[in-house]
Amino acid sequence: MEAIPATDPVGPPPSPPPPPPGLTGSPAPSTRRRAGWTAAVVAALLAAVVLSLAVGSRTIPPDRVLDALLHGGDDATAGVVRSLRLPRTLIGLMTGAALAMAGVVMQGVTRNPIADPGILGVSQGASLGVVLAIAAAGVHTLAGQVWFAFAGAAVASVAVYAIASRGRGGASPVKLALAGAAINALLVSVISGILTTRASALEEFRFWQIGSLAGRDQEIAGQMWPFLLLGTVLVFSVARGLDALALGEDLARGLGRNVAAVRILAGAGATVLTGVGVAAAGPIAFVGLAVPHIARALVGGDHRRLLPMAALLGPVVLLLSDVVGRVIYADSEVPAGVMTALIGLPFLVALARRRTVAA
């Protein structure tokens, strides 16, 4: 009899599914290239800080800026630098970093390349908190409104996760996105209803809603940093889990990751970061959407490298947008939230047209 060749009834193990389109980009750059890009971004960040301190309706030479920071002084130049531009720059640094890292985490948790910090209702929750602070509690200072905005962001995030986690499958990316959209729509309706009946609060809220670094003082900067530190620790603690989650839930469990714990910790960190950024500067657009993609193109999709790069790039984008907004009109300034939207809109159109992102 002719022997029948032996065959493997099992066959080779299936290869792991690829991460979702738009979340990995090109292969990870080499170590030398990553180091070069990191050095370039650090230099850009330093330049953005100098410009933020020196440029405005009154341009101050960098040496005078440095002298005002190191030696103080009672002249008008030192007052402008220390009392107005330094707090504004510090808040821009922290807000840019917070929103950029939150965007990275939101895109990782939802596996959606066009997710941003507002996808889980966090931004609208903060907006509702500010409206209630103005209309119900009579709080009319930015330093007081920060706490209401942060509380609103936290409550909205918890509500979204509670809704998405019900039923079979738990809080899947699709259910999180749908629950976030539903909560967003509800909060927008509530905010509109309150402002319709309290017209006196409309003008004050509109200033905050645009998103701006103007008028923020040292007190707000002091309130921000503990929450920024907490959110940063939370998102960095699940960086490896986000890498595994990008391969799919089943493979992440096979690698020993607790998917629910990764989602909860990542969502909590992103909520804290988004809440503190939106509370301090308003809902700044496109930083959380565009910066993660730029950072991913520079250092690859490993979240242990992606999160630090986003934390460096976010302040660069926000501070430069704020500087351009200050000088674009001679007699006034364009809020940073408007400038980031103008800069980010072409990026969003290009992202939507990419075949790798298209469904």
DSSP secondary structure string for all residues of 321-334: HHHHHHHSSSSS--
Give Cα 58 to chain centroid, integer Å: 30
Q: Which of 2-11, 140-149, 208-217, 221-230 has the lowest mean pLDDT?
A: 2-11
State yes or no: pLDDT of 132 exceeds 50.
yes
Q: Please give the pLDDT value at position 316.
A: 95
pLDDT value for 174: 78
Model pLDDT for residues 108-129, shown as the tens digit of each residue: 888 878 778 777 788 889 889 9
Round to the nearest angstrom and report the end-to-end CA distance of the chain. Answer: 54
Note the pLDDT of residue 72. Answer: 72
* Per-residue pLDDT, 73: 67
Q: Worst-scoring range by mean pLDDT, 12-26, 32-46, 202-216, 303-317? A: 12-26
What does the alpha-carbon distance between residue 271 and residue 134 come to, in Å, rounded to a whole number? 23
The percent of residues in the chain predicted with pLDDT above 70, rounded, is 88
Closest CA to 313 of 302, 333, 297, 337: 297
Taking the CA atoms of residue 271, residue 274, residue 275 and residue 281 in that order, the dihedral angle to the nearest 10 degrees is 180
**Residues 340, 34, 351, 337: what is their CA dihedral angle, to the nearest 10 degrees?**
-10
Is the pLDDT higher at 110 or at 173? Answer: 110
Residue 175 CA, distance from chain mean position: 21
The pLDDT tens digits of the residues spanning 275-303 come to: 888 888 888 888 988 899 999 989 988 99
Q: Residue 8's pLDDT band (boundaries 50, 70, 90)? A: very low
Asked whether the predicted pLDDT for residue 68 surpasses 90, the reply is no
Helical packing angle, 218-237 and 259-281, nearest 10°: 170
- Between these two residues, 210 and 18, which has the higher pLDDT value? 210
Spatial contact of 266 and 109, defined as CB atoms under 8 Å apart:
yes
Residue pair 201/191 in contact by the 8 Å Cβ criterion = no
Distance between CA 22 and CA 100 in Å, rounded?
17
Is the sign of the CA dihedral 243, 249, 253, 259 positive or negative? positive
Give the integer Cα–Cα distance in Å for 87 and 89.
5
**Rounded distance between C-alpha atoms, residue 156 and residue 127, angstroms:** 10
Other CB atoms within 10 Å distance of the CB of residue 42: 12
Give yes or no for a contact between 118 and 187, defined as CB atoms under 8 angstroms apart.
Answer: no
Report which residue type is found at 142. L
Q: Do the beta carbons of residue 328 and residue 55 sit within 8 Å?
A: no
- When comparing pLDDT for 189 and 29, which is higher? 189
pLDDT in tens, 17-47: 455 544 554 456 778 888 899 999 999 999 9
**Residue linked to tokens 């986000």:** 242
Q: Which of 306, 288, 293 is CA-nearest to residue 356? A: 293
* Average per-residue pLDDT for the chain: 82
